[in-house]
Structures are given as structure tokens and as C-alpha cells.
Structure 1
Amino acid sequence: MKNEAFQILVVDDEKAYSDSLSIILRSEGYAVDTETSSAKALEMIGSKEYHLVISDFMMEDMDGFELLKMIKEKKKELEVIIVTGYGSIKNAVEAMKKGAFSYYIKSHDPTELLHEVSKVKRIRALTEEVHQASESSRYLMRSKNKKMQEIIEMAEKVAQSDTNVLLLGESGVGKEVIANYIHEQSNRKFYQFIPVNCRSYSKTLLESELFGHEKGAYTGATETRIGKVESAQGGTLFLDEIGDATLDTQIKLLRVLDAKYIERIGSNEHIDVDFRLICATNQGLKEQIQQGEFREDFFYRISTFTLEIPALRERQEDIEEMVRFFVKQISRKMDKQALDIEPELMTYLLKYSYPGNIRELKNIIERLIVLSSDGILRKKDLLANQQHSYSLEYTLKEVRAQAEKAYIEQMLRHMDGHLSETANRLGITRRQLFNKIGQLNIYVEK
């Protein structure tokens, strides 16, 4: 059932009402317990993990406000919806002041209550998602590696200013995690952190995503849209893969950084903006500048402070703790038990070079947890997914070509299709890589 992990306790001394409400909630897939006594309800809350309490206001042993107060003393994060047959604005306001999530009148349509329950569920899911992301961010900013420790220290120092930051490093090293960490350590942490991947949009769509547009600004613009720059007001704007932004977009961003205002597409109105800019790339921007693909003035504007993040293969002393962290985090998220890691697997993971860096490690752990049937993560489950079967009709040369093709394609995926980075990791020149792509009929994603 779609909602059965969401636990609700209904407290009402009218058993007939609590039973009927229980039937309605269960029909929506929620797991429901009922109780007619407030005192016993408090005992249940102390011994079982509930996500929501729906409590009657008028009860013989304790009114809903008193129960609400005691619930919040026990578990501040537990949401409570007050239900009553005698509704008034005064009581509704009082309930909200005392910490109730909302207030429902029994005579009203039950869909109103179901809507409130759904809101609690969505908010809790979002809160857990943010908590997990924050937990991951904090954990990944701990390191035994000297170079990474220096990066963390510099990130903490630069966070105390509004300096523009450029993060460099291979795909998957955790550039967004570091950008988010800088935001959380800054005075802007109470405002939004807005990430934008420049590679995900065409030129027109990227500008609309960044600056917003007015209704009718172009075909398909059926309503006014606020852009990411405007949404980052007071907070931090993170532009990932900045090397993929067109020259026109770079010019517009440069103007915004200088003038401190934007104009939505299709409008001449100036909208003042105040945000911290952090950019990231795994491309060689100086090489792009020489080739005329990146503006030099824009480069110097965004790179007031530059941090180069080391690849995971350069941080081997961090791998074991990172493995255990991802095992714990992912198994909890998937609600699947992961008891232990086979020693042979850990040895393999410690020696592996991780072309895709932290992102690849996380994907490996997720795959192992999915394949595990008894909570033990094993090397054979990882290698089973990587083995290739060849026809006995192939020559040794043909088998070598297949293996070479598979490895180059895998490396290209890890490098997000960047040819120069891929060639560098393969230990060959860019021209040699081009030749291999043609000879082996390798597909390169655009």
C-alpha cells in the first residue's frame, strides 16, 4: 500500500468516530492505530514511532490542547492535527499557536482532512530528503587526506565573504557538495541554495531558466516564470558545468554580476538581485579561452577564489569510511538491511581507481545493496555485472577490440562525454581517442 509506512495515531473518546476515521485513512493506504484514552495515547507515542497524531479537542480525561502540549514535550517533531465538533476561529488560532499542524471540524468533508494528512506526509518526506542531503554534505566534508583538508579549510574561510568561487575537478568529485557546504557556512544559509546544471539546457532554455521570462515572450511561454537568479535572492546560485554556457549567456551573466539586476526575457523591467555565485566545471577553461569558447573577462569575474577538488583515487585513506557511510545511508533509504561487507569486496573497493569518483562509488554501493539477499555485500555480485560473454568464433584481436570499446564507452560515460578528460584518463591523446571512436564505432552521447 502506497502510504503504509506512514504511521497515524487517532485519539478520540468517541470510538465510533475514531473507527470510521480509521477506515477512511486506511482506505488511502495509511497505517492507523486508534485510542480512546489520552493517557494511553501518550504511552503509545512513547513506545512506537508515529508520523502524525489526529486528536479530538473535547475528551473526558484530557482536552486536545493539553494532549498537544504533552506530545510536543515528548516529541517536538511529531505533527498533530486537532479535530473537533465545535469549531471556532478562536480555537483554530489557539491550536496553531500551541504547535498544531492544522485544525479540522468533524462536520466538514473528510477530503479536507485527507488533504491535511497528505501535506504532513509530503513535508515530512521533504524534510527527510533535506536532512539526508545535509547529512551527506557534512559527512563528505570530513577527510583524512591532507589536500582535501586544505580544501575544506579554504572553503570555510571563503564562506565568510561574498567572493565568487570557481570549483574545479573531475566529474563526480563532489563539487555541488562543496558548493552547498560553502553556502551552509555563510551568512546566506537562511536563504536558498539554487543549483543549475548548464549542460542540461539548450542556449534558449538556459537563459530562460536563469533569468525567467514574461508571458508571451516566445512561442510556448504561456505564463510568467521567475528564473533561478531571481529565486536565489539573498542566497547562493550554483552554476555547474559553467564551461557549457554559451558566450551570449556568459555576457549576460557578466552584466548581472556588474549591474546587480536582471531583466526577464520579454521585459525591460530591472529586477534587483543579491546572491552569491559559485561555479563549477570539469573542463579546462583556460584552454577554452584560447580557443575562443569562453570569455576571459567572465572567467576572471567568477574565479576570484578557485578550489581544485582532488579525485577520489587521490584520497584512498577516505574510501573505507566513505563506503561504510554510503552503505548505511543507502540501505536506510531503501529500507533494506546491510549487515556486513565481505573483506574481499572491501579490498577491491580500496584498490579500485574510480573513474567516476564519489558518484561512481555511491552507485556501486547502491547496486551491491540491491543485489544482496542476506545483508552481506559481496565482491562476486559486483563483478557479475561487469563480466562479458564472448562467442568462441571471435579471434583474440576481435575480443580485445570489444573489451577496448566497452572500456572507452564506460570511461566516456564517467567523464560525461568530455573527450579531452577521457583521453587524459586513458593515457592517450585526443586525436588517438578520435581515431578509436571511429575505428570501434563508439557512440558518444551529446
Structure 2
Amino acid sequence: MAQGFENLGKIPELRNRILYTLLMFVVFRVGVHITTPGVNPTALAQFFSASNSNLFGLFNMFTGGALARFSIFSLGIMPYISSAIIFEMLPMVVPSLDRLQKEGEAGRKKFMQYIRYGTVILSLFQAMGITYGIEVMRSPSGLPVVSHPGLSFMVISVIALTAGTVFVMWIGEEISEHGIGNGISLIIFAGIVAAIPAAFINALKMVRLGELNIMLLILIVAMMILVIGFIVFVESAQRRIPVQYAKKMVGRKLYSGQSSYLPLKVNTPGVIPPIFAMSILLFPTTIANFIKIPIFEGVSRYLNPAGVLYNVIYVVLIFFFAFFYTAITFKVDNVADDLRKYGGNIPGIKPGKSTAAYIDRILNRVTFIGATYVSLVCLLPTILINQIHVPFYFGGTGLLIVVVVAMDTIVQIQSHLLYRNYDSLLKKASKK
């Protein structure tokens, strides 16, 4: 496989997919630096520098630095994720949507169109809230962030932010279709990775100025390396359920039964639970920080990312989405039916409902372990960094997303290489 990676440039389709993905990254990064019309960049930079809270740091990380510039991509991909969450839950209570999901490719396309419409609606509401809040902001020196607030700025800003979110959604879908990897996850990945150089440069400046101990910085880097190794280890782990296939008569030959296994990943949903949980928590608290109304400010204080309540809700949401996403993507009844259809069975377990119940029980245990692992990775590094008061926002959640998305992308590249090698072997065999 290492030799295959060396020959990446010799596979036209894979090379084009990787280049297309990188091109979309460039387009995304250019959009991050395009400020919304009517905003004073100097005053905005001063404001965020003075109020660089954990909340703004987290949201800014997920938008790739767009929020700090109030660019056209300030909302990022979060409205799309929130819309996807809503529409993934609706089929449980709306029978027509449940039927739509079962209509094959045509139903899936229509369902995705509904998610896009939901993204536009959520973007409009979020854009209005953020625009209303930024109009009254002033820098520490007294400069207004918006030079000419009013109806015209509100309309232009809402249109720009909504259009920016739709464009980011389009970039993600284009990467998924014509590039390599999951486009939505890679958009978040690109935003986080883009902040790494600035975070390390900032840490080095603090060391040079004596604000940060060099040994403490080494400890943080060592902790990150250990967490990365732990993530790779757990993401590669599987719970293998043994499967025995019955003997088959093909023509006049009797083929003996084969032994195989059903692999269950420890973290089946991947980065979906922390991303969904973060999107739900960041939405109300971000609006609360922009709109200066007592009830919203109270919500913001209670949902401080460094507070106990925020972290407890975060863990609860991670567990909820881990079980929820696993349940809707891994249909145990379908797996049990497929095993029975192809003559497979789990030793000691009756085919049919008993097999489905057994797989479901094992899957629930594995999902619980996976959700616990995700919670620990997302919280522990962030809590430790908050305790030692280091302004370094590349915490556990960012590490998990970067490592898991990178691993998934590498797996897709390996699949393309394997298909290419298999296709070459078939051609050689046909020539002989």
C-alpha cells in the first residue's frame, strides 16, 4: 500500500479528485477572508481581541476563523448540520418523510433537498440575530464595528451571510461528489487545520515574552501526541461477532461452511456526535452573545464552555447522538435478515429476531464505550488547557475531528488504490 501511495500521481481519477478537493479548500479559505460589506475590520479585530472568550474561540475554530473577520462565511457549515439533525429526527414522527427515505435514490435526493431548504431558513434566522448584535458592537477604543448601521446594512449582511452558508454547503457537496472524502467533515477539518500554524506561533510568542513556560508548552504538545495515538488506536478497534455459514451445494460440488465475522466499530458514528452536540450548544450561546437581552445573557453565562453545566450537556448530547446516529445507520433487523438470507448464523443464537436482539445488545455496549471515549477525548484536553489558562483552542474536539476525518479520507484513498490495483490485475489476467 505504501508503494500505492507513491504512485498517487499516476492514477488520473484519484489525482483529479485530490486536486479538486484542494481547489475547493482554496476557494473556502478565500471566502473566509472576504469581510461582509459595511464592517470595520480594525474595530472588529479589536473587539474580538478584547473579548476572546472560549465560546468565540470554539465557534471561530469551526468556521475556520471566519467569525473573527465577520466574513461572508461567518455562519460556516453549522446551519446545514443543524438542518440535517432536524430532518434526521423528523421521520420518527412524520410518516411521509419516513416513506420518502425508503424510496431509494430518488427519495434520498428529495430528502437532501429538504435539508437544503432548512439550511437556508436557519441561516436567515442566525444571520439576522448576528447582524442585529454586531450593529451595536464597539471596539475597546470606542470605534463602531459597523460604520453605518441600519436597514440597508441589515439586508446586505443577512443576504451575504445566508449566501455564504449556501455556498459553503455547495462546496461540501461538491467535495463529496467530485473530490475525496466527506465534504462537510472536510470543510470543518480545513477550518481547524488552518488555525494550527497561528496557534503554535502565538504559543511561541508567549514563550518568548515569558507569558508561557516552555516546559508547559512541551507538556501540551506531548499531551496532543498521546491523544492522537489514543484516537487512532480506538478508531481502529472493532468488536468482531463470529458468523458461521452453512454448507452449500453448487452444481455437483458440496462446499463446506465458512467462518467469518461481523465487525462493529467502537466508534460507529465517528465525529458526528461531537459536531452535532457542538452545533446545538453554540447556536443559542452565540446568538446570546450578540443580542444584549437579559434572558439571552443569562443563557450565555450558564452555557459557558468552561462551566460544568455546558460540559454536562455536551456529554449528554454526545451520548444521545452516538446512539441515535448508530440506530439510524446500522439497522440490526436488516443485518439479521441478510445473514439468514445468505445462510449465515451466529453460533448459539437462533436466526431471525434472536440474532437481531443479540447484535443490538452487543452494539449498544460497543456504542456506550465509543460514546465514553469520544466524551473523554473531547473534554479532558480542553479542561486541562482551561485549567492552566493557555489561550490554545485546538482542544480535544478539534483533535478528534482532525484525526478521524484524516483517517476516513486515507481509507477512501486506499479504496481507490485497491480498486485500481484490482482492475489492473483483471486486465492482466484477461490478456493471458
TM class by smaller structure: under 0.3
Greater relative CO (CA pairs within 8 A, separation 6+): 2
Larger fraction in helix: 2
Q: Normalising by structure 1, report the TM-score.
A: 0.24
Q: Greater CA radius of gyration, 1 or 2?
A: 1
